[in-house]
Amino acid sequence: MDAQQRNDKAQADAAARPVIEARDLSLTFETGDGPVYALSHVDLSVNEGEFVSFIGPSGCGKTTLLRVIADLEHATSGTITVNGLTPEQARLARQYGYVFQAPALYPWRTVIKNVMLPLEIMGMGRAEREERARRNLDLVNLAGFDKKFPWQLSGGMQQRASIARALSFDPKLLLMDEPFGALDEIVRDKLNEQLLRLWDDTGKTVVFVTHSIPEAVFLSTKIVVMSPRPGRIIDIIPCDFPRDRTLDIRETPEFLAVAHRVREGLRAGHSYDD
Amino acid sequence: MTIDAALPSPPRRKRPSIFARIWAGQAGPVAVVCAAILGFWYVMCLPMNGDLPSMPPGGTLAERYAAAWALDRPVLPAPHQVLMELRTSTCGRLASEAAFPSAEFIGNFFSCEIRWTPRNLLFHAVVTVSSTLVGFGLGALLGIGLAVLIVHSVTLRKSLMPWIIASQTIPILAIAPIIIVVLANQGITGLLPKAIISAYLCFFPVAIGMVKGLNSPDVLSLDLMRTYNASRLETFLKLRLPAAVPFLFASLKVAIAISLVGAIVGELPSGATAGLGARMLSGSYYGQTVQIWAALFLAAFVAALMVALVGVIERGILKAMGARP
């Protein structure tokens, strides 16, 4: 194998290097009312630089799947790797940033101190902590709000601060669990655009949980449609709009076609039944 | 013209009068309740004291009330007698015999020169407060320490919790003499035994409040620490402890008040000659009810002062921790 070939191969690997690989993953919760099959035989791979959305009704296991990736839950059977490591090893190596449904900012810390929290825990020096926190607050358009306490910020700003916190230690992988679910649609549209810019600029891999079809189609390069009881994957829909798309694409026939396919997938999974 | 200028400005509200503002605040309602209690107290002096041998026989109702409010050793002393006892026992006798409404009396009442002798009531208050504060410090530390252990170990929670609760079911009056005697046997007397009785009472609300506070962070906040691979110590210092601070202060306010109760109770069986408890006890030996009441009021005042002080510290710390004003 000569140098040129090796180089080509390296590039090809980088382009499709799997960040997350799940094989036959199942998770069963034992409850007083009998077992709950939260995940059932899930196969999934997420490649580097992708933006993958999990969509499905409540209880379909999309959050559980994200929590398994983050080592916040443990699969009952099957295998999963994150950057070639087990989820636990990946968590211990701090390889992902997690954004929760609620901002979960600590109320006794100012915005900048909240963003610096993971950096403190990693033992980073004061000057670098502050520099990184400021850079990431800039990135989410919160420059100038660093000295404010969380309650002085609107819901959307709080969630942006929590994204800055997840980005502060520069993880390659960003796990987001319905981060904009509690926000109104106008704020959500704006944050979706900002998130897309951020993903485009930083080249991170994003795994995003949502129950909004337009949000999933607008943001993703790949949509994973899930259905409940048991939680399983119904369809995986590629979605390759240009990386610098704007909200306008939501009126295009291509966009509506993908949205239609997502809806069909949800219907096939009986997501609309009671 | 801007849009702002086109909008009508809101009507300027009239500043409410000083009386309206006092009434709207706490001062007005508190004053009314105080006046009602004082009135009731004055009225009750005659039924309580009327049958004493020291009461002069016969007379009109007004004369009988005047007599009932001026007895040397009443069953129920009148409020002004307690106030005068507080004045004379802290600052000595008045300079002259001038009676109440005169300017001379008022001048005498407020010209106060404190002599620092063991007869001074303030001296007794300082004795009690010092063991209160030592006991409060010990009890708060013990309570916080127990809470930290309980939160971090299921075994300790199961083994310690029943004892902590059982400790408070024993009447303090029963256990206080035991503590005094046992410690005196070891050669420990004075402030420390009283402080230990205070600590015995006040560690409880601190422990319970701190357990609740340290467990107060929600699952999300704890999961966040997990994603950062934070150690237990870091999770404790950066999440559990700051989250527990408001709970801690709520407990400390209760604790400092009952710590004073503990110190006073600790003075009763120890044969102490100094302290508010000792004053109350000697007052009851010699039938000096006015002296008991004066000590009682000073104790209540000191307790209120200490609770208020904890409240001021609380406000300062919570403000620094970003609490909403």
At residue A172, the 3 state secondary structure works out as coil
Residues A34-52 have pLDDT tens digits of 888 888 888 999 998 899 9
For CA atoms B282, B286, B291, B297, the dihedral sign is positive
Q: What angle do CA A176, A41, A265 make, to 5 degrees?
A: 65
d(CA A197, CA B270): 76
d(CA A195, CA A201): 10
**How many Cβ atoms sit within 10 Å of the Cβ of residue A16?**
11
A85 at interface of B, judged by CB pairs closer than 8 A: no
Query: Measuring CA to CA, how many Å separate A61 from each of B24, B162, B193, B264, B317?
Result: 54, 40, 60, 61, 42
- Predicted-complex ipTM score: 0.86
With beta carbons less than 8 A apart as the criterion, state whether B125 and B187 touch: no
A64 at interface of B, judged by CB pairs closer than 8 A: no
- The length of chain A in residues reads 274
With beta carbons less than 8 A apart as the criterion, state whether B260 and B127 touch: no
Task: List the single residue in B with minimal CA-CA distance to A113.
Answer: B238
Position B188 confidence tier, pLDDT thresholds 50, 70, 90? confident
Percentage of chain B modeled with pLDDT above 90: 47
Residue A85: DSSP 8-state: B
- In chain B, residues with a C-beta closer than 8 Å to the C-beta of A72 are 223, 226-227
pLDDT of residue A274: 59
At residue B69, the 3 state secondary structure works out as coil
**Inter-axis angle of helices B191-214 and B121-152, nearest 10:** 40
d(CA A157, CA A179): 12
Of A72, A101, A122, nearest to B226 by CB-CB distance is: A72
Position A4 confidence tier, pLDDT thresholds 50, 70, 90? low
- In chain B, residues with a C-beta closer than 8 Å to the C-beta of A181 are none
Q: How far is B148 from chain A (nearest CA, A)?
A: 20
Of A93, A102, A118, nearest to B220 by CB-CB distance is: A102
Position B258 confidence tier, pLDDT thresholds 50, 70, 90? very high
Residue B12 — φ and ψ, nearest 5°?
Answer: -75, 125
Of A97, A121, A151, nearest to B324 by CB-CB distance is: A151
Residues A54-64 have pLDDT tens digits of 998 887 888 89
With beta carbons less than 8 A apart as the criterion, state whether B47 and B263 touch: no
Residues B75-122 have pLDDT tens digits of 999 999 999 888 888 887 777 777 777 777 877 777 777 777 778 888
d(CA B99, CA B66): 14
Residue A76 — φ and ψ, nearest 5°?
Answer: -80, -35
- Mark yes or no for CB contact A104/B245 under 8 Å: no
Position A173 confidence tier, pLDDT thresholds 50, 70, 90? very high
Min mean pLDDT across A68-82, B14-28, B42-56, B67-81 is at: B14-28
- In chain A, residues with a C-beta closer than 8 Å to the C-beta of B218 are 104
> A-contacting residues of B 74-93, CB under 8 Å?
none
Smallest CA-to-CA distance from B143 within B206, B212, B196 is with B206
In chain A, the N- to C-terminal Cα span, in Å, equals 58
Beta bridge partners of A97: A174
Task: With a cut of 90, say whether residue A206 has pLDDT above it.
Answer: yes
Six-digit token string for A178? 């319905």
A92 at interface of B, judged by CB pairs closer than 8 A: yes
Rounded to an integer, the average pLDDT of A146-154 is: 92
Between strands A18-31 and A34-47, the pairing is: antiparallel
d(CA A95, CA A208): 16
A267 vs B141, higher pLDDT? B141
Min mean pLDDT across A98-107, A212-221, A239-248, B39-48 is at: A239-248
Rounded to an integer, the average pLDDT of A67-91 is: 90
d(CA B220, CA B283): 59
A120 at interface of B, judged by CB pairs closer than 8 A: yes
d(CA B220, CA A165): 14
Position B1 confidence tier, pLDDT thresholds 50, 70, 90? very low
Mutation to test the A interface, candidates B220, B228, B236, B241, most A Cβ within 10 Å: B228
> A-contacting residues of B 204-243, CB under 8 Å?
218, 220-221, 223-230, 234, 238-239, 242-243
Smallest CA-to-CA distance from A19 within A174, A194, A242 is with A174
**Alpha carbon A147 to chain centroid, angstroms:** 28
Task: With a cut of 90, say whether residue A245 has pLDDT above it.
Answer: no
Residue B8: DSSP 8-state: P
Task: List the single residue in B with minimal CA-CA distance to A119.
Answer: B228
Q: What angle do CA A223, A229, A232 make, to 5 degrees?
A: 30
**Alpha carbon A96 to chain centroid, angstroms:** 10
Six-digit token string for B147? 């809470």
A109-112 long-range Cβ contacts below 8 angstroms, 24+ apart: A109/A149, A109/A150, A109/B322, A110/A146, A110/A147, A110/A148, A110/A149, A110/B322, A111/A137, A111/A142, A111/A145, A111/A146, A111/A147, A111/A148, A111/A149, A111/A150, A111/A153, A111/A161, A112/A137, A112/A146, A112/A147
d(CA B280, CA A84): 76
**How many Cβ atoms sit within 10 Å of the Cβ of residue A18?**
18
Mutation to test the A interface, candidates B219, B226, B227, B317, most A Cβ within 10 Å: B227
Q: How far is A107 from chain B (nearest CA, A)?
A: 7
Task: With a cut of 70, say whether residue B6 has pLDDT above it.
Answer: no
pLDDT of residue B225: 94
pLDDT of residue B103: 78
Residue B229 — φ and ψ, nearest 5°?
Answer: 55, 45
d(CA B269, CA B177): 6
Position A12 confidence tier, pLDDT thresholds 50, 70, 90? very low
Task: With a cut of 80, say whether residue B164 has pLDDT above it.
Answer: yes
Six-digit token string for A124? 């980073």
> B-contacting residues of A 144-163, CB under 8 Å?
149-151
Q: How far is B234 from chain A (nearest CA, A)?
A: 7
- Spatial CB neighbours of B151, under 8 Å, sequence gap ≥ 6: B157, B211, B214, B215, B240
* Burial call A122-138: b when 16+ CB within 10 Å, e when fewer: eebeeeebbebbbebbe
Task: List the single residue in A with minimal CA-CA distance to B230.
Answer: A121
B117 vs B47, higher pLDDT? B47
Six-digit token string for A228? 């409940």
For residue B272, the one-letter residue type is: A
Query: Measuring CA to CA, how many Å separate B157 from each of A127, B142, B143, B170, B212?
Result: 41, 15, 13, 21, 13
